[in-house]
Amino acid sequence: MAKQRENFPPGVALVIGGSGGMGRSICERLAEAGSDVALTYQSNAARAAEAAAAVEALGRTALTVQLSLEDEAGMKAAVDALAAHQRIHTVVVASGTDIAQPKIRDMTTAQWRQVMDADLNGFFNLIHATLPHLKAGGGGSYVHISSAGLHRWPDGDVLSVAPKAAIESLIQGIAREEGRYGIRANSVALGVIESGIFLRRLADGTFTERWQQAALSKLCLKRWGSADEVADAVVFLASNRAAYTTGQILSVDGGYRV
pLDDT-above-90 percentage for the chain? 88
Residue 1 has pLDDT above 70, yes or no: no
Contacts of 53 (CB under 8 A, 6+ apart): 62
**Phi, then psi, of 176 in degrees rounded to 5:** -75, -45
CATH class of the domain whose range is 12-252: alpha beta
Split at pLDDT 50, 70, 90, the class of 4 is: low
What is the residue extent of each domain of the chain? 12-252
254 CB neighbour count, 10 Å cutoff: 23
pTM of this structure: 0.94
H/E stretch holding 201 reads helix 196-203
For residue 2, pLDDT over 50 is answered with no
How far is it, in rounded angstroms, from Cα 226 to Cα 212?
A: 16
192-218 confidence digits (pLDDT tens): 999 877 888 888 877 889 989 999 999
Question: What CA–CA distance (Å, rounded) separates 26 from 22?
Answer: 6
pLDDT in tens, 215-235: 999 999 999 999 999 999 999
Q: How far is the C-alpha of 97 from the C-alpha of 116, rounded, in Å?
A: 12
